[in-house]
Amino acid sequence: MALDFSQGLPEDVLALQGVARDFALSRLRERGQAADRTGEVPWDVLREAGELGLCAPGVPEEYGGAGVSALAQVVMMEELGWGNLGLAVAIGSQSLAAAAVSRHGSLEQKRAYLPRLAGEGGLLLASLAVTEPEAGSELEMASRGEHQRVRSEARRTDGGYRIDGRKRFIVNAGADGILLVLAQTDADAGLRGASLFLVHQKAAGVQFLGRTETSGLRSLQIGTLDFQGCAVGAGDLLGGEGQGFQIAREVLQLGRVLTAAAEVGTARAAYEASIAYARDRRTMGRPIIEHQQVAGMLARMRTGIDAARLLVLRAAGDIDAGRDALLSTSEANFQSGDAAVTALRNAVQTFGGYGYTEEFPVEMWLRDVLGSRVAYGGGDVQLLEVAEAIARGA
């Protein structure tokens, strides 16, 4: 396989990579492309991923997961992204919820949710519900003052809270799953007054307002959820009151690097397809790969992908070592997005007119990577994180 980087990876990482690679080849490619055409989300494929141990594999073994490292998870995500980016993002969403519950959940919450997030006893789909109609990026960046706040509110009631508000662009919205909802418990405290709640999508007071139609990532369902008088118990608060933004930010670091890895996978798929096409397609009496400009595009694709992967592996290493990974996950995410968009533009160009048709998947991959660029704040937000880290003396 082109761009194979498996040499030197530990045995357990290689094993997970193998399972993910086979699944990507046998299921994600075909079902992802079919979903792109029909718009029908292959929920059964997500359940299969759960049965194979590909959902939230970082869940500790005592709670039914495989307890694998962040390194193993990014290696797995690259393979899934190679298969289909939308489905990889949906699968990655399980890991974010699991990380939040593993690190900040009570014993009851861990017992109730972690096994099912990892697929034991039937997969429980999970999503982080942070973004709102009036607030996206600002809920993902370091707090810069009181103006940054969540519009959704969780007011105390006897024995719990009542949530009111609206969330947009939520992965797996409309499924029978669990949400980690960010809502303001102290209206006057800015993001220091935001808290996270575990809420079932089918709970009373939660309404699915429909799927958001997107240009790419069409194998993934993202949608809008309305909360009106949604009653949750005190035991559904994750961490303490006022800790929600910090927990979400911590979990989004993992999200950034998992998405980055998946983008590397999609870019690698495009690179491999472009090499094969450029060897086969002939103009002016020779394969187009022998034309310097085409070879240059391929070289640029490969270099960008390799650089992005190295940053992804470094960021995963930071997470595994317990180091602050805000800077390295932001750098990895910025570079992977940049490399993936460049690779896909070059792939479409390498395929010429055919690259812009539905005969080949490259135009879909381009639409997909443009979509994943926006999730987690996009390139601008990642660069801002890097710039702020520099200002702090990093």
Ligand X SMILES: Cc1cc2nc3c(=O)[nH]c(=O)nc-3n(C[C@H](O)[C@H](O)[C@H](O)COP(=O)(O)OP(=O)(O)OC[C@H]3O[C@@H](n4cnc5c(N)ncnc54)[C@H](O)[C@@H]3O)c2cc1C
**Interface residues with ligand X (CB under 6 A)?**
127-131, 136-138, 140, 169-171, 217, 222, 371, 374-378, 380-381, 384
Question: What one-letter code names the amino acid at 300?
Answer: R
Cβ-proximal residues to 55 (8 Å cutoff; 6+ apart), any chain: 46, 49, 91, 94, 95, 117, 118, 119, 123
Whole-number minimum distance, CB 38 to ligand X, in Å? 18
What span, in angstroms and rounded, lies between the C-alpha atoms of 394 and 154? Answer: 36
Burial class of residue 223 in the structure, from the number of CB atoms within 10 Å of its CB (0-12 exposed, 13-18 middle, 19+ buried): buried
Q: Which is nearer to ligand X, 102 or 172 (CB)?
A: 172
Q: Which is nearer to ligand X, 280 or 380 (CB)?
A: 380
Question: What one-letter code names the amino acid at 279?
Answer: R
Whole-number minimum distance, CB 372 to ligand X, in Å? 6
- Total residues belonging to the chain: 394
Quick one: DSSP state of residue 155?
Answer: E
Chain-centre distance for alpha carbon 21: 18
Contact 99, 42 (CB under 8 A): no
Whole-number minimum distance, CB 277 to ligand X, in Å? 28
Q: Which is nearer to ligand X, 252 or 348 (CB)?
A: 252
Whole-number minimum distance, CB 334 to ligand X, in Å? 11
Whole-number minimum distance, CB 377 to ligand X, in Å? 5
Q: Is 274 helix (H, G, I), strand (E, B) or coil?
A: helix
What span, in angstroms and rounded, lies between the C-alpha atoms of 78 and 5? Answer: 11
Whole-number minimum distance, CB 69 to ligand X, in Å? 24
The Cα-based distances of 23 to 53, 85, 266, 312, 338 in angstroms read 11, 13, 15, 22, 27
Q: Which is nearer to ligand X, 21 or 218 (CB)?
A: 218
Whole-number minimum distance, CB 71 to ligand X, in Å? 24
Contact 58, 75 (CB under 8 A): no
Whole-number minimum distance, CB 303 to ligand X, in Å? 26
Number of DSSP helices (H) and strands (E) in the chain, helices first: 11, 10
CA dihedral over 319, 323, 325, 327, signed as positive or negative: negative
Indicate the residue whose CB is closest to ligand X. Answer: 136
Q: Which is nearer to ligand X, 200 or 314 (CB)?
A: 200
What span, in angstroms and rounded, lies between the C-alpha atoms of 163 and 232? Answer: 8
Whole-number minimum distance, CB 201 to ligand X, in Å? 13
Q: Which is nearer to ligand X, 69 or 219 (CB)?
A: 219
Whole-number minimum distance, CB 374 to ligand X, in Å? 4
Q: Which is nearer to ligand X, 69 or 93 (CB)?
A: 93
Q: Which is nearer to ligand X, 64 or 255 (CB)?
A: 255
User: Closest Cα to residue 269, out of 86, 35, 80?
Assistant: 80
Joined tokens for residue 233: 């118990």
Q: Which is nearer to ligand X, 180 or 269 (CB)?
A: 180
Q: Within a 10 A sphere around the Cβ of 212, how many other Cβ atoms?
A: 13
Q: Which is nearer to ligand X, 169 or 271 (CB)?
A: 169
What span, in angstroms and rounded, lies between the C-alpha atoms of 284 and 274? Answer: 19
Residue 127: phi, psi to the nearest 5?
Answer: -145, 150
